[in-house]
Amino acid sequence: MKTLTLLLIALSTYGQGCLKLDLVVLGDYSGSVMGYQSFVSDAITSLAKGLELSEEGVKMSTIIFNDSPTVVCSLTDSKKEFITQTSALKLMFPVGETYLLGALKAARDELFGVKSRDGYNKMIILISDGRIYDTSQSVEAVNELRKLGVRICTILIKSSTTNEQFLQQIALDCYVESDYENLASEINKLDICS
């Protein structure tokens, strides 16, 4: 985890309101996540609790994906709304395979849709065990997002089916490896303020 210290900086270093950002968190909710969904939910809500959500600062959205994407919470500046809706993930059962392309398209729609803001930074945080089935199409979508100025950070949940190379390939901005138990700690160290 030595590379972690090089890639990440604690959010507290920057303080609240460090930037203007539209942020989408993509959470893998395929069958391989079964039994660990509370760790994913807790990590995403923990990140929101540490940020100042506001119309002038950070807006957040959560999208889960498996065979298809589901927008759990649209881009919002309400911390209460975001945490309430994202906390419901604990009650949902992960199923299916891991197809990322649809989630990337849904994230693009959030980042450039009616609730987004012109002139604001755009970022995606992807949480996955890396067993993605549509890698070539997803790489194309990531390249399109990069052309639009979107930063992409990935958090790889290490497992026996992990595809580290793919997640490293799409994570030019930041890449972290974790396990489910430490996911909340790791997501809160991401350098989203630069």
What is the pLDDT, as a whole number, of residue 116? 93
Does 38 or 8 have the greater pLDDT score?
38
Question: What are the phi and psi torsion angles at 150 (to 5°)?
Answer: -80, 130
**Which residue do the tokens 């138990």 mark?**
181
Q: What is the number of alpha carbons within 13 Å of residue 126 lying toward its C-beta?
A: 34
CB atoms within 10 A of CB 20: 15
**In angstroms, what CA-CA distances link 193 with 86, 89, 92, 130, 163?**
22, 26, 31, 25, 28
140-172 per-position pLDDT tens digit: 999 999 999 999 999 999 877 777 888 888 887
CATH code at 17-59+75-187:
3.40.50.410
Residue-level pLDDT at 52: 87
The structural domains of the chain, with segments of one domain joined by +, span 17-59+75-187
The pLDDT tens digits for 91-111 are 888 999 999 999 999 999 999
